[in-house]
Amino acid sequence: IGWQGAFYNLAKLVATGGLVWLAGWLYEGFSTSGTASFDAYVRSWTVVLLLLCVTLVALGLYHLRALPSGGSASEGRSLRDGLSGLKEVIAAFFTKRHIWYYIAFIILYRLGEGFVMKIVPLFLKADTASGGLGLTNQQIGLYYGTFGAGAFLLGSLLAGYYIARRGLRRTLFTLCCIFNLPFGVYALLAWFQPSSMWLVGGGIVVEYFGYGFGFVGLTLFMMQQVAPGRHQMAHYAFASGIMNLSVMLTGMASGFLGDLMSYRIFFLAVMLATIPAFVITRLVPFTYDDKPNDK
């Protein structure tokens, strides 16, 4: 599960790290060639997006050949049968034991992250007079794509082994703490605005290690407690959809709140928003055995 959590979020790290660093490197090259600042940004990001497009097309062609087809359907189904089956799957999901506890847990566990994830890049890039840290694209890409990515992968792998040894029930609150408390790093950076790249990079490493470590707990909880039953794959997909919807909605709200508050106050408010996650993690019941299945 640690490996799965690591690769699940690896694309985000590549996008916020490696691609941003590449855009910054290209921008410097275009700027030294006499291109105006705005045009240099346009050219650098055009190259990055074209490279990304080619990469995705190549991966799509590879997966077209490498992934199993799943075989042909044994029999066709009418639209009415399909809708009836969907209704059954949805009804079964919302009648699961403790399902409303589980939905609340899924939403609240990543509540703080949802607020932070859209504002942090703006905070890192904003000049110090505006309350930011004034980092360049290359610096942001380096911290996220190299140090942050390494810390995230390490955290995910260690969490997998940690849960395997102790079980999810005994470790879930610890995982919640390690996931949410490192967001306080951004509050400290906003208040003290350090110029040392070691402090800034170290803070990002701490946050991403905690993110990788704690995210595994939520993924495994959805697998062990929400998904089991007749429609296991569909119900895991529902739970994942609820999780991502909650992060998307809080991300949308973060822009509005960020305009109302300074970075200092905003990141303090984020820490208050993590409190419900600790409460629900303490209260959430377990329906199924939380021990790893060795069969």
pLDDT of residue 2: 56
How far is residue 274's CA from residue 279's CA, in Å, rounded to a whole number?
9
Q: Which residue has the higher pLDDT, 21 or 189?
A: 189
Q: Is the pLDDT of residue 238 over 70?
A: yes
Which of 5-9, 34-38, 119-123, 267-271 is least confident?
A: 5-9
Q: Report pLDDT for 241.
A: 93
- What pTM was computed for the model? 0.79
Residue 14 confidence (pLDDT) above 50: yes
The model's confidence at residue 46, banded by pLDDT at 50, 70 and 90, is very high
Asked if residue 189 lies in contact with residue 273, where contact means CB atoms within 8 angstroms, the answer is: no
Cβ neighbours of 70 (radius 10 Å): 6
> H helices within the chain, ranges in order?
2-8, 10-13, 19-32, 37-66, 79-94, 99-109, 111-125, 137-142, 149-166, 168-180, 184-192, 197-221, 232-260, 263-273, 275-283
Q: What is the mean pLDDT of residues 89-111?
A: 92
- Rounded to an integer, the average pLDDT of 138-151 is 81
pLDDT interval class at 9 (50, 70, 90): low
Q: How would residue 294 be classed by pLDDT, with cut points 50, 70 and 90? A: very low
pLDDT, tens digit, 9 for 90 and up, residues 50-91: 998 999 999 999 998 888 876 665 666 777 777 888 898 899
Q: According to the model, what pLDDT value does residue 53 have?
A: 92
Residues 6+ apart with CB under 8 A from 287: 96, 97, 98, 225, 228
Between these two residues, 138 and 102, which has the higher pLDDT value? 102
Reported as a single tens digit per residue, the pLDDT across 21-30 is 788 888 888 7
| pLDDT attached to residue 8 | 64
Quote the pLDDT of residue 295: 43
What is the predicted pLDDT for the residue at 78?
Answer: 73
pLDDT digits (tens, 9 = 90+) for 152-172: 888 988 998 899 899 999 999
DSSP-based three-state secondary structure for 292: coil
User: Residue 39: what residue type?
Assistant: D
Tens digits of per-residue pLDDT, 243-276?
999 999 999 999 899 889 999 999 999 999 999 9
pLDDT at residue number 24? 82
Mean pLDDT of the chain: 86
pLDDT value of position 153: 85
pLDDT at 178: 94
| Tokens, residue 48 | 């990055």
